[in-house]
Structure 1
């Protein structure tokens, strides 16, 4: 009988202990759910504030707010060209920079003819390092540069391990993806500080890919992220706005599209639509995808493992 009573007491003690643990886990679960709910609500609010409100309000006069001239590096790629055209449509004069002289000339004439603004172009190959900036310094010397779009970048044709990448390619990535943004900032910031106005946009395509063979590209993105944050702190008191723009997939309005998602314009906007939305985030958010559906995609990615994002991306985009 004593053995039965002891077992019964032990059972009651274990039951009480389990009940207490279950109560604790329930509280933890409730707090986690509340935290996630608040986080989702805040992300929804951020999307509305950034991507809906600017469309309702009157368009900002970018010339008055930042200055007469905009400089766009990587000007002939999809986003660079569309961003230059959008700024020109808002009345800014445009200086285009990239390494393809013929495309620069054609784009410069096309923008000037379409939007009635002054345009100029600078043929410069950032992969050459320091020598690429001599001609840029001469042109930008006395101009009222109000907006700088750092869009120059190179990507690997296929993923490679760091030891498989040719040495010339390693230096090209460093010179274009990292050094070009820093040097362009050094060239335009003194004038912006003197005028107490200006905007700098560093473009770094966003991705959740965890592919181990993109080491150097991933590192250059991380550098640009940190550089943009620190630059914002440094220049905030000078009236200069700094933004890190992290677009996802964008369609070239002049080219053909492939892949499942490319047939869904809400998720993969044309470069023209993307640039229109991205420009409206100037002065509002220091870090943004530039497009509402891209922001929603990134929010979803936070709930999905990186390897799954990579797998899904390969199926949808290729």
Structure 2
């Protein structure tokens, strides 16, 4: 066997191995209950309470309900007290679990001491860093962002500072007990520079890097830290897009994502979003970032807005 033949056999073997690993990972995501079955008491074994930011609506509200159904008591934190009280009442009446509410605006800096005082003494087993905001209601170029200085500060505080501060607050108790689960909500837009959503996608890229680095540091302590990077979910932030094969309701997404807890330090949360992510990764940036595509997308959004008016 000459060198050239050996070289091509080695390349072929490597190719097969790489794609076997990728296929196995895909199958694990497709059938998490088979590969990573969770015992019925898994969530409650981590602690009595789950703390959820942005818990009065959308994905955060869905996590609150689903974790309460699994037997967790819930702390929901969001800006509007009346909405929090309404959700708390629904959860308590539906599941029988205890619910604490904390009104806090995560675009502000002075909220964390009060949050910490309100959860002091609670055996927090799960933290869901869900709260987040867009830099602009509609996609636009960076300099066209309305109230740009305020928007920059708000996005940094809400999307980037809040998960770091909440982890700093709750992680010590998990480390002491050698168990816990932290779910950090990022976005499918975190994986590539995203024109017209530049500030938002950059902030979600930070969440993804922070989350995966933190998991590397604390995995040996028995703590699971997972970053979720979903695409379309029908929530107030997405103007309640019509659910379909790709766009999931908040309840659908959350239920499936909780089955993927043991899949790895990052997951799209559901198979359709993983497929969409794979497709987007294959598109050259020259196309994704082209001036023509940006212009066409803005025209499409403007036309849709006129239709809804």
- Sort the TM-score into its range (normalised by shorter chain): 0.7 to 0.9
Cα 1:306–1:250 change in 2 (3 A) is farther
Corresponding residue of 2:117: 138
Q: For the residues of structure 2 that align with 1:168 and 1:272, how far apart are their CA atoms?
A: 32
Which ranges in structure 1 are unaligned for 5 or more consecutive residues? Answer: 1-23
Cα drift, residue 34 of structure 1: 6.9
Q: Does 1:203 align with 2:182?
A: no
| Partner of residue 88, structure 2 | 108
Q: Deviations over 1:187-238 (max 9, x none)?
A: 1011111111111111012126754333322221221111112211221222
Q: Distance in 1 between matches of 2:212 and 2:38?
A: 28
Q: State whether residues 209 and 309 of structure 1, in contact with CA within 8 Å, keep that contact through their aligned partners in structure 2.
A: no
Following TM superposition, by how much is the alpha carbon of 1:290 offset from its aligned partner in structure 2, in angstroms?
0.9
Q: Offset of 1:297 from its aligned partner?
A: 1.9
Match of 2:218 in 1: 235
**Residue 183, structure 1, aligned to residue 126, structure 2:** no
Work out which of the two has the higher radius of gyration on C-alpha atoms and give 1 or 2: 1
The alignment status of 1:302 with 2:281, answered yes or no, reads: yes
Please give the TM-score of this superposition, normalised by the length of structure 2.
0.81
Helix, strand or coil: the match of 1:122?
strand
Q: Is the 8 A contact 1:209 1:307 kept in 2?
A: no
Shift of 1:162: 3.7
Select which of 55, 66, 77 maps to 1:86: 66
Provide the residue aligned with 1:281 in structure 2.
260
Match 1:97 to one of 49, 69, 77: 77
Q: CA deviation at 1:281?
A: 1.5
Alignment RMSD (CA, Å): 3.1
**Helix, strand or coil for the counterpart of 2:210?**
helix
Question: Taking structure 1 as the reference length, what is the TM-score of the superposition?
Answer: 0.79
**Pairwise CA distance, 1:140:** 1.3
How has the CA–CA distance of structure 1 residues 293 and 60 changed in structure 2, closer, same or farther, with 3 Å as cutoff? farther
Relative to structure 1, the CA distance from residue 64 to residue 303 in structure 2 (aligned partners, 3 Å threshold; closer, same or farther) is same
Residues 17-74 of structure 1 show CA distances to partners (whole Å, capped at 9, x for unaligned) of xxxxxxx9xx88x94x876665444333213213413168454423443111101101
- Asked if the contact 1:66–1:198 (Cα under 8 Å) also holds between the matched residues in 2, the reply is yes
| Residue 127 of structure 2: aligned partner | 148
Q: Residues 44 and 71 of structure 2 are in contact (CA less than 8 Å); yes or no, is this contact kept in structure 1?
A: no
- Distance change in 2, residues 1:52/1:108 (3 Å): same
8 Å Cα contact 2:107/2:153 also seen in 1: yes
The yes-or-no answer on 1:215 pairing with 2:195 is no
Distance in 2 (alpha carbons) for counterparts of 1:113 and 1:257? 28
Give the match for residue 157 of structure 1.
Answer: 137
Q: Structure 1 CA distance, aligned partners of 2:14 and 2:197?
A: 33
Correspondence for 1:127:
107
Counterpart CA distance in 2 for 1:128 and 1:256 is 26
User: Residue 199 of structure 1 aligns to a residue in which SS?
Assistant: strand
Q: Relative to structure 2, which stretch is displaced further, 80-89 or 173-182?
A: 80-89
Q: CA deviation at 1:250?
A: 1.7
Contact kept, 8 Å, 2:127 with 2:183, in 1: the verdict is yes
Q: Please list every run of 5 or more consecutive structure 2 residues that lacks an aligned counterpart in the other structure.
A: 305-309
| Separation in 2, partners of 1:138, 1:193 | 19
